Amino acid sequence: MKVTFGLRLDGEHGWRPANRLGMPVLGPLGLLNLLETRLGLLRAECTQAQRVTQYRECLKRCDTPDRFYHASFGVDPIGASASLLSWRDDWYLHGWNGDLPSGAGVRIADMAAVECNARNLLFPSLGERLIQVAEFLSRQQSKIESVELVDPMEAFPKRWRDVLAKLPVRSVRTYGPSADEKTVLGRLQVALKSAHEGKKPNGKIAWSDDGSLRVVRAETCLVAARWVAQTFTSRQEEVAIVAGQDRSLLDATLDAVDIARQGFQDSSPLVPALQVLPLALATVWEPLDVYALLQFLSHPIGPVPGYASRRLAEVIAECPGIGGPRWREVIEEIEKLYPERAADLRKALAFWVEHPRYSPSHGAPLTVLLERTRGVRDYFSARFSDQDPIQSAASATGYRQAIAVSAALEALAAQGESSITPVELEALISHCTARGAPNFAMQAQVGCVPSVSDPGALVEPFDRVIWWQMGAPSLPGHYPWSRSERDTLAQAGVELPHLDEVLAQRGQDWLRPILNTRKHLVLVLPPPGEEIHPLWQEIQWCVDGLRPEPLEDLVTGRAGEDLLEVAHAPLPRRRRWWNLPSEVKISIRPHESYSSLNTFLNAPYQWVLKYPARLNPSNLLAVTDENRLYGNLAHRLIERFFRTGGAQAFRGDVLKAWFSQQFDMVVAEEGAVLLMPGRCGDYERLRAVLGRALEEIQRQFRAAGVVLVEPERDLAGTFPGGDLKGQADLVVHNKSGQQAIVDMKWAGANSNQDRLAKNRHLQLAIYAEMLRQETGAQPQVSYFILEGSRLLASDTGFFPEARVVQSGSSGASSPLWDQFVTAWKWRRSQLDAGMIEVAVDGIEPTPESEGPPGALKPEELREAYNEYRWLAGWED
């Protein structure tokens, strides 16, 4: 076997595909695995998260108040363990053997003390595995015929050098100029090579566009990707790509123009399958994390059956909480739809949603967390056999994560722990998830070219090299140890390379794509404003007059013909009227409501999109909160109050006790977001406001001699457009048999006062008309503003203590009803003629926007609540 070995070759493809049977190209993980296999040293795998857990135990056993890590370990045991484990592993890789060096300071002495435990408890690190491999190689043949190094020997850590010393290393690859030395590229290669060898530059190269070097830059990565895609196949050359940053965008663009995908996948810990377990575990804490539960239930992947989870997620978004009236209703509705699955659903909900929760300060039992983690594992394992390979791969990813978390939790349990705090659990999951997984829908395709993410992995010359997004690279960080600590470590055999050497080697690595280009080098710079690569600065210095070509010039055809012309397709312009084709008719709805009619009269285009077109925004986008939530909770509480027998007679402590108990219950069931950490102030503010509001309602009703209150009263009636339906917040009756409608609003005292004053209280007028049609008597109408505990009415006829709002007109509802009917007929005739008014700010009304005499004048609805404003068209 002939092995090519380099430090940066794991997972890379910076060489030509060829028949390489018996000639593998390997990085450190690849070669270590090969050697361990050949030497019979393979062992069961251990994840890094398990190692962190094992090291945590080592640190814990040695932990005393005078240990240097004591305080940090107390704050973040998993994070501190991961951090110190990386120290230890680094030291081993560079030559440590775990002994306490002489003259060691506190930190190194503590680490050496911990090491006494780690030797027995910890799965070996790469460095320790290399020690073992080196020992075995001393007495056993590896059957490797030759090894070629693509990096200089001194670039390898000590433990690798020890192993390589026992292997037949035949050659070390070197890199030099490979382009014609008469070209700009050829001369640049010589200049850079010489500069990186420490020689002073010998003057500058005059720029001339001989085609060997091209540097481009676009305002956005997308334009750059389109250009690369367009020019990718224009020449019959051996091409290689260097793509470290924004590489998935380039691949998606190549895919879009039918060029083979390169498999540039950025791993992410947030791929859908990896979100399931963290969400399933985030809901175990007290108080309920409403946002996590919404995400858990609305996630397209998850153990709660899909036929129920989305509908329950809608309930959580609308009435955040578990077990409220809406929650129960929806479960019953689902069970009616799927009676054969009812028992399974109840079981799934009991396990995943309606389970006990635990105090974050005391921690959750490991047994409970293990049970849930295994539940997620089983869910994914049942989906391995999915016919769709993408779904199957996603399930495997979720399964592996669940297995890793289970193993880590089991390790903690084996160490005698019984519970874990949320901070520790989050850190543990994060370590088990690591860098996450790629997008499985974007695997490489046949026809892909050699490509690397690390420039140092491009180890062969190619005719053409494209360096995509040549931005600032990540540089090696400073060592976390003091100079004296590094000196002590050196005495203990730890050969940490000096940062200057590491940076110089990185500089050599960056040169490889430049030196390995035979004919055409293309450098695609990141958009202006983003930090550029240090090597680009060097190139710019070397080649006098070299400037990046703005790709936008190429796109607009001002330079070259590299890109296809894309026809300009403007977004639709804003117009005051939309016209339906004559064959399209919008029929009358089976029944109408106030909110539909209000939109119909004032914003016909919104009405058309919302009702006939059924174009509605998702109701899962956000958890209901603030004024809308407060209003909902107030309605629910007041409804409960008036449904409680004898509640109107409650006074003093009895009222307070009722309020206190019911308020807590309503919030827990439908406003649990207010129980989350940081919401205590909002909770108490709401409690105070509703307490005052309830007292004021009672006072007003007493003064009015109210004898009967009907909360959430269903109303029905007719109008020229057909049936009407609605629900009045409160319908009240006094001793004289008169009735009134009270509409409760959370806020908006001024706007509602204005509505009454201007005789535009359409909602109340419609409700009043429905009640009149039902009972034959015209009711009084009023608003109750909850936030200000204020009852507004146009006179004191029913509520003597109400704040009276003087109306400009008679104030009675009937004329308003007539105005409404006239306006409705006018709008309906427009719709029948196919005319739809786009009544939004910024488009001037036309004469057709004016209603007939006697019609309720349209009013502008608040733009903030217009969900369709971007569908009204765009300005030029």
Q: Based on CB atoms, which residue is closest to another protein, 82 or 150? A: 82
- Choices 557-565, 570-578, 604-612, 673-681; region in contact with another protein by CB under 8 A: 673-681
Q: Based on CB atoms, which residue is closest to another protein, 201 or 389? A: 201
Q: State the DSSP H helix or E strand holding residue 607, giving kind and residue range, or none if neither.
A: helix 604-610
Q: Based on CB atoms, which residue is closest to another protein, 303 or 513? A: 513
Cβ count within 10 A of residue 407:
17
Q: State the DSSP H helix or E strand holding residue 699, giving kind and residue range, or none if neither.
A: helix 680-703
To another protein, the closest distance from the beta carbon of 531 in angstroms equals: 4
Options 29, 172, 680, 708; binder of another protein; rule CB under 8 A: 680
Please state, in angstroms and rounded to a whole number, the distance separating the CA atoms of residues 718 and 712: 20
Buried b (16+ CB within 10 A) or exposed e, 596-609: ebbbbbbbbbbbbb
463 to 482, contacts with another protein by CB under 8 A?
472, 475-476, 478, 480
Cα separation values, 440 from 69, 127, 270, Å: 41, 32, 13
113: contact with another protein by CB under 8 A: no
For residue 126, the one-letter residue type is L
Cβ atoms of 765 and 816 within 8 Å: the answer is: yes
Options 503, 586, 749, 861; binder of another protein; rule CB under 8 A: 503
How many residues bind another protein (CB under 8 A)? The answer is: 45
To another protein, the closest distance from the beta carbon of 165 in angstroms equals: 29
178 to 197, contacts with another protein by CB under 8 A?
195-196
Cβ atoms of 722 and 592 within 8 Å: the answer is: yes
Q: Based on CB atoms, which residue is closest to another protein, 261 or 533? A: 533
- Choices 344-352, 495-503, 566-574, 759-767; region in contact with another protein by CB under 8 A: 495-503
- Choices 90-98, 348-356, 529-537, 709-717; region in contact with another protein by CB under 8 A: 529-537
Residues near 200 by Cβ (< 8 Å), separated by ≥ 6? none
292: contact with another protein by CB under 8 A: no
Q: Based on CB atoms, which residue is closest to another protein, 345 or 523? A: 523
For residue 324, the one-letter residue type is G
548: contact with another protein by CB under 8 A: no
To another protein, the closest distance from the beta carbon of 542 in angstroms equals: 9
198: contact with another protein by CB under 8 A: yes
Please state, in angstroms and rounded to a whole number, the distance separating the CA atoms of residues 513 and 526: 17
Residue 471 per-residue DSSP state? B
67 to 106, contacts with another protein by CB under 8 A?
68-72, 74-76, 79-80, 82-83
Options 105, 323, 493, 507; binder of another protein; rule CB under 8 A: 507
Please state, in angstroms and rounded to a whole number, the distance separating the CA atoms of residues 214 and 185: 9
Residue 722, SS3 per DSSP: strand
Sign of CA dihedral 317, 320, 323, 324: negative
Options 339, 581, 645, 681; binder of another protein; rule CB under 8 A: 681
- Owner of token pair 């520790």: 424
528: contact with another protein by CB under 8 A: no
109: contact with another protein by CB under 8 A: no
* Nearest in space to 624 (alpha carbons), one of 787, 533, 746: 746
To another protein, the closest distance from the beta carbon of 81 in angstroms equals: 9
To another protein, the closest distance from the beta carbon of 423 in angstroms equals: 9
Q: Based on CB atoms, which residue is closest to another protein, 77 or 95? A: 77
Please state, in angstroms and rounded to a whole number, the distance separating the CA atoms of residues 172 and 153: 8
599 to 628, contacts with another protein by CB under 8 A?
none
Give Dmax (Cα) for the chain: 109
Q: Based on CB atoms, which residue is closest to another protein, 151 or 424? A: 424
Q: Based on CB atoms, which residue is closest to another protein, 460 or 538? A: 538
Options 201, 737, 852, 854; binder of another protein; rule CB under 8 A: 201
541: contact with another protein by CB under 8 A: yes
* Nearest in space to 245 (alpha carbons), one of 509, 430, 473: 473
Please state, in angstroms and rounded to a whole number, the distance separating the CA atoms of residues 632 and 669: 12
Q: Based on CB atoms, which residue is closest to another protein, 292 or 330? A: 292
Q: Based on CB atoms, which residue is closest to another protein, 11 or 528? A: 528
To another protein, the closest distance from the beta carbon of 685 in angstroms equals: 5
To another protein, the closest distance from the beta carbon of 502 in angstroms equals: 9
688: contact with another protein by CB under 8 A: yes
537: contact with another protein by CB under 8 A: yes
Residues near 102 by Cβ (< 8 Å), separated by ≥ 6? 491
Cβ atoms of 632 and 329 within 8 Å: the answer is: no
To another protein, the closest distance from the beta carbon of 634 in angstroms equals: 17
677: contact with another protein by CB under 8 A: yes
Options 17, 300, 529, 590; binder of another protein; rule CB under 8 A: 529
Q: Based on CB atoms, which residue is closest to another protein, 173 or 199? A: 199
Please state, in angstroms and rounded to a whole number, the distance separating the CA atoms of residues 571 and 643: 53
Question: Mind giving me the DSSP string for 157-198?
Answer: -HHHHHHHTTS-EEEE------S-TTSHHHHHHHHHHHHHTT
To another protein, the closest distance from the beta carbon of 787 in angstroms equals: 11
570: contact with another protein by CB under 8 A: no
To another protein, the closest distance from the beta carbon of 79 in angstroms equals: 5
The phi-psi region of residue 336 (left if phi > 0; otherwise alpha if psi is between -120 and 50; otherwise beta) is: alpha
Please state, in angstroms and rounded to a whole number, the distance separating the CA atoms of residues 3 and 8: 15
To another protein, the closest distance from the beta carbon of 434 in angstroms equals: 14
Please state, in angstroms and rounded to a whole number, the distance separating the CA atoms of residues 115 and 92: 11
Q: Token pair of 173, please?
A: 């690859």
656: contact with another protein by CB under 8 A: no
Find how far residue 190's CA is from the centre of its chain.
47
Sign of CA dihedral 595, 856, 573, 841: negative
Residue spans of alpha helices (H) in 233-362: 247-256, 272-282, 290-298, 306-318, 325-337, 342-352
- Choices 501-509, 590-598, 738-746, 774-782; region in contact with another protein by CB under 8 A: 501-509
Please state, in angstroms and rounded to a whole number, the distance separating the CA atoms of residues 729 and 713: 7
Q: Based on CB atoms, which residue is closest to another protein, 64 or 120? A: 64
684: contact with another protein by CB under 8 A: yes
62: contact with another protein by CB under 8 A: no
Binding site for another protein (CB under 8 A): 68-72, 74-76, 79-80, 82-83, 107, 195-196, 198, 200-201, 472, 475-476, 478, 480, 499-500, 503-504, 506-507, 529-532, 534, 537-538, 541, 677-681, 684-685, 688
